[in-house]
Amino acid sequence: MNRKITYFVFLLTCLVFAAWSAAPGEASMTVLGGLAHEATAAKGDAYEGDILIQNTGDTPQAVKIYQTDYLFYANGTNMFDPPGKAPRSNASWITFNPNYLLIPPKESLPVHYVVQVPPSITLNGTYWSLLMVEEVNRESEISKDNKGKYKIGIRTVLRSGIKIITNIGNTGNRKIKIVDKRVVQKGTDKIFQVDIGNTGERLLSPNVWIEIYDNKGSRIGKYEGTKMAIFPGTSIRQAINLPKLAKGKYKAMIIIDNGDEFVFGAEHKLVI
């Protein structure tokens, strides 16, 4: 690669970065009513629903609708694989209409979906996938100005994934595994970090907290995390702020409470 081409690639990269930095304000699409549609159904049953998409802008907005699977992990990895690839994907159960919309300014239009649960006797627990709603016609433009210099404009592509979740009756075992737990330093604060995996067959949405005791067994306090959904085969990371503690040894009881009869716990020794 000669110097002129190298310089052009470098300049193009800088322009792309700058354009992406300015792009988020252009978005005009929003999904109303939440990003999770959850239902409980029996084997062989069918149910339906609507996803309402709003154009908040002043010009017509085109959107396309398509399917993906969705898995996520405590280390921050998110996977949007082709529909039907994940072990618990329900993508093949779902039909939806339309797959393209042109939404007038300041108006909303629905996407209707139907979920037909197979009659298979082997189904149990929770199955899910995404209906992805994505803006179109916001694309990159590379051109030359009147002096023959290249210029580039990048417009954001906004997309939202709506989880279509099917629970098969009350079936599926509930299992939790603490994958990792540690104390990490963040600035002047100490954070109790715990990675939690769902090793069962059923969606869980537990409250997570820790209770700290000193070396004499006296309770110092309860410190709460954030309620987060954990699908089977996925994991999340909870980061709980610790209080200011004197140097010494402590015991932290980790409580994972699903809000029903399913409560999980573990003990961790803290050394400050």
**Residues 133 and 232 reside in one and the same domain:** no
Asked if pLDDT for residue 272 goes beyond 90, the answer is no
Q: What is the pLDDT of residue 102?
A: 95
Radius of gyration over every alpha carbon of the chain, rounded to an integer in angstroms:
24
pLDDT band at 116 (very low <50, low <70, confident <90, very high): very high
List the single range of 98-112, 134-148, 167-181 with lowest mean pLDDT.
134-148
Q: What is the pLDDT of residue 271?
A: 87
Q: The CATH number of the domain where 7 resides is what?
A: 2.60.40.10
Examine the fold and report which residue of 139, 168, 197 is the final residue of a domain before the chain moves on.
Answer: 168
Average pLDDT over residues 22-42: 81
**Residues 12 and 40 reside in one and the same domain:** yes
pLDDT band at 224 (very low <50, low <70, confident <90, very high): very high
Overall number of domains in the chain: 2
Side-chain-side CA neighbours of 169 within 13 Å: the count stands at 13
φ, ψ for residue 230 (rounded to 5)?
-125, 110
Asked if pLDDT for residue 197 goes beyond 50, the answer is yes
Work out the mean pLDDT of the chain and round it to a whole number.
Answer: 87
Q: What is the pLDDT of residue 23?
A: 39
Q: What is the pLDDT of residue 144?
A: 59
**Residues 11 and 89 reside in one and the same domain:** yes
**Residues 32 and 126 reside in one and the same domain:** yes
**Residues 181 and 154 reside in one and the same domain:** no
Q: What is the pLDDT of residue 19?
A: 32
The neighbouring-strand residues paired with 193 are: 182, 239
Asked if pLDDT for residue 26 goes beyond 70, the answer is no
3-state DSSP call for residue 260? coil
Span 165-182, pLDDT tens digits: 999 999 999 999 999 999
**Residues 55 and 132 reside in one and the same domain:** yes
**Residues 80 and 155 reside in one and the same domain:** yes
**Residues 13 and 78 reside in one and the same domain:** yes
Structural domain for 154, as ranges: 3-168
Examine the fold and report which residue of 125, 152, 168 is the final residue of a domain before the chain moves on.
Answer: 168
**Residues 32 and 121 reside in one and the same domain:** yes
**Residues 140 and 190 reside in one and the same domain:** no
**Residues 141 and 217 reside in one and the same domain:** no
Q: The CATH number of the domain where 240 resides is what?
A: 2.60.40.2360
The neighbouring-strand residues paired with 191 are: 184, 241
The two most distant CA atoms of the chain are separated, in Å, by 78
How far apart are alpha carbons 112 and 164 in whole angstroms?
Answer: 12
Examine the fold and report which residue of 146, 168, 190 is the final residue of a domain before the chain moves on.
Answer: 168
Please name which of 161, 200, 165 lies closest in space to residue 93, comparing C-alpha atoms. 165
Please name which of 51, 88, 46 lies closest in space to residue 66, comparing C-alpha atoms. 51
Instruction: Provide the percentage of residues in the chain whose pLDDT is more than 90.
Output: 74
pLDDT band at 11 (very low <50, low <70, confident <90, very high): very low
**Residues 113 and 159 reside in one and the same domain:** yes
